[in-house]
């Protein structure tokens, strides 16, 4: 039996028996089952290793026959800590870089994982493609719709794999659920509702101060137009500033909206409307802390997503999830790797359970012990042993949905969209938000 068949059999069995065994924090069982051969080894670099990036780098390092050979971070303290973390896991010290452009000059690694702030996702991914690397890019894959279009174009031009961090595309029961939806388990599926809640605290009123000595703030901003450093921005609160972040709709809503689009079998909407605001606190937070986005799609289908960043009252018993409504029943997906099929009389007729720990409020990795399968799929795709589960063409479509929601929110009206590509019709003001300006010298070129 060949190595590839052994590995595929192992992953199939993991999907049948549940994923906790495979994705324990040490991943030691996976190492004992699959040690791989030197020819199959995947060498990766990781950009941005605070918070989510720390999780990614350590999880990649624990995967069988994967080496995290390079770390890039603009914070010297984070960089040294991340290098030490990987050395502790693997016994081998990765090489560190502050400037991603310098790291991408190195030829002996196969792929780049991008987990820097959102304004870096597409520029870094395209730089990596131009350097001949495969790319794992965290969601959202882009800061704005134009970047998503460019990233899809670049992936085709340079012929490399690009996986977006839509981890649910790899979860075994979620894939089964989507199959049931498409096979008519609840009849014609015509509407879906998604939600995400949290209990985030105020970020206060920041003061303009010099950036700390350990942070290269110029490189941190990279392609974004320059703004002064403030003491309530780094390392997490940039999410809530339009210049660098994309708000809760893309920070978390991208996940639910990807599942919604996948389940409904739709690509681009015909109409988008959004309402919300910064309601809970009066501080520097620019994006909405409470938001609803509603979509109409071709085929007489619709969807809505609700985000509540500062009130964590659960919906349907979960802090995040999706419900699909059909003419013969309902499917309830509470956000991890379990779901229920309910008939037209509200009777549960099928239930898929997975007891893998799940924390919707975890801002680093709510599905930590499941996510490793998605990272493993990326490495398998580089080896050529599996198709990529969340290709960037799909990632762009799912990222575009919350981006359109944010644009509708910012201009304060319903957007009419071209269902062939999602572009906004007959609204010059809204289309100004389709792309962005870049700091001189950092413009995206493919």
Residues near 173 by Cβ (< 8 Å), separated by ≥ 6?
337, 338, 339, 352, 354
- To 5 degrees, how large is the angle CA 178–CA 184–CA 190? 80
Three-state SS at 282 = coil
Annotate 330-386 with DSSP letters as a single string. Answer: EEEE-SSS-EEEEETTS-EEEEE-------TT-SS-TTHHHHHHHHHHHHHHHHTSS
Longest CA–CA span in the chain (Å) reads 63
Task: Please state the domain extents for the chain.
Answer: 3-168, 172-206+215-360+392-431
> Which CATH class for the 172-206+215-360+392-431 domain?
alpha beta
Neighbour count for residue 82 (Cβ, 10 Å): 25
Strand runs (DSSP E) across 257-388, as ranges?
271-277, 290-297, 301-308, 320-326, 329-333, 339-343, 348-352
Distance from C-alpha of 62 to C-alpha of 44, rounded to nearest angstrom: 12
Residues near 432 by Cβ (< 8 Å), separated by ≥ 6?
none
Give residue for tokens 């071709």.
298
Query: Which among 417, 359, 394 is positioned nearest to 260, based on CA atoms?
Result: 394
| H or E segment to which residue 55 belongs | helix 52-62
Distance from C-alpha of 260 to C-alpha of 331, rounded to nearest angstrom: 11
Give residue-wise pLDDT tens across range 424-439.
Answer: 999 999 999 999 999 9
Distance from C-alpha of 35 to C-alpha of 348, rounded to nearest angstrom: 42
Reported as half-sphere exposure (CB side, CA atoms, 13 A), residue 104 has a value of: 21
Give residue for tokens 């493919």.
446
Query: Which token pair is 56?
Result: 């990614």
Neighbour count for residue 326 (Cβ, 10 Å): 19
Give residue for tokens 């619709």.
302
**In this structure, what DSSP letter does residue 160 have?**
-
Give residue for tokens 């290269």.
216
Taking each helix axis from N to C end, the angle separating 392-411 and 145-158, rounded to the nearest 10 degrees, works out to 160
Per-residue pLDDT of the chain (446 residues; tens, 9 = 90+): 233 333 333 333 333 333 333 333 333 333 333 345 667 999 999 999 999 999 999 999 999 999 999 999 999 999 999 999 999 999 999 999 999 999 999 999 999 999 999 999 999 999 999 999 999 999 999 999 999 999 999 999 999 999 999 999 999 999 999 999 999 999 999 999 999 999 999 999 999 999 999 999 999 999 999 999 999 999 999 999 999 999 999 999 999 999 999 999 999 999 999 999 999 999 999 999 999 999 999 999 999 999 999 999 999 999 999 999 999 999 999 999 999 999 999 999 999 999 877 666 666 666 777 899 999 999 999 999 999 999 999 999 999 999 999 999 999 999 999 999 999 999 999 999 999 999 999 999 99
Distance from C-alpha of 398 to C-alpha of 152, rounded to nearest angstrom: 13
- To 5 degrees, how large is the angle CA 438–CA 440–CA 442? 65
Residue 157 phi, psi dihedral angles, 5° rounding: -65, -40
Residue 302's beta-bridge partner residues? 191, 296
Architecture field, domain 3-168: 3-Layer(aba) Sandwich (3.40)
Give residue-wise pLDDT tens across range 143-153.
Answer: 999 999 999 99
Query: Which token pair is 191?
Result: 């509407």
Residues near 442 by Cβ (< 8 Å), separated by ≥ 6?
123, 222, 223
């Amino acid at each position: 039996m060949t190595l590839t068949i052994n590995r595929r059999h192992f992953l199939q069995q993991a999907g049948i028996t549940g994923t906790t065994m495979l994705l324990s924090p040490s991943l030691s069982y996976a190492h004992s089952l699959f040690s791989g051969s030197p020819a199959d080894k995947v060498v990766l670099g990781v950009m941005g290793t605070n918070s989510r990036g720390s999780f990614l780098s350590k999880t990649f390092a624990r995967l069988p026959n994967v080496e995290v050979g390079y770390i890039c971070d603009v914070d010297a303290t984070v960089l040294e800590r991340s290098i030490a973390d990987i050395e502790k896991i693997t016994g081998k010290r990765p090489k560190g870089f502050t400037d991603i452009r310098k790291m991408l000059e190195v030829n002996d690694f196969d792929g780049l994982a991008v987990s820097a702030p959102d304004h870096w996702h597409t520029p870094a991914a395209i730089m990596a493609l131009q350097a001949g690397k495969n790319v794992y890019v965290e969601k959202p894959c882009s800061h704005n719709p134009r970047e998503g279009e460019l990233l899809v174009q670049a992936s085709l031009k340079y012929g490399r794999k690009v996986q977006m961090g839509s981890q649910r595309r790899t979860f075994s029961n979620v894939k089964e659920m989507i199959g049931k939806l498409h096979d008519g388990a609840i009849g014609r599926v015509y509407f879906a509702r998604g939600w995400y809640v949290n209990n985030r605290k105020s970020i206060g009123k920041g003061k303009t101060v010099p950036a700390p000595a350990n942070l290269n703030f110029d490189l941190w901003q990279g392609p974004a137009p320059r703004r002064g450093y403030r003491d309530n921005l780094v390392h997490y609160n940039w999410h809530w500033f339009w210049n660098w972040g994309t708000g809760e709709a893309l920070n978390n809503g991208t996940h639910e909206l990807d599942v919604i689009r996948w389940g409904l079998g739709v690509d681009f909407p015909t109409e988008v409307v959004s309402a919300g605001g910064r309601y809970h606190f009066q501080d520097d937070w620019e994006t909405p802390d409470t938001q609803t986005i509603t979509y109409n799609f071709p085929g007489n289908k619709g969807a809505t997503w609700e985000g509540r960043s500062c009130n964590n009252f659960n919906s349907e018993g979960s802090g995040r999830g999706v419900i699909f409504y059909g003419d013969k029943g309902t499917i309830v997906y509470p956000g991890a790797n379990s779901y229920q099929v309910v008939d037209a009389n509200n009777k549960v007729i099928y239930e898929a359970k997975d007891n893998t720990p799940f924390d919707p409020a975890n801002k680093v990795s709510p599905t930590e012990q499941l996510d490793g399968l998605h990272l493993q799929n990326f490495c398998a795709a580089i080896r050529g042993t599996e198709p990529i589960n969340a290709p960037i063409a799909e990632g762009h479509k799912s990222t575009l949905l919350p981006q359109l929601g944010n644009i509708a929110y910012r201009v304060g009206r319903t957007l009419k969209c071209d269902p062939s590509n999602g572009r906004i019709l007959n609204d010059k003001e809204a289309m100004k938000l389709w792309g962005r300006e870049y700091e001189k010298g950092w413009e995206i070129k493919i």
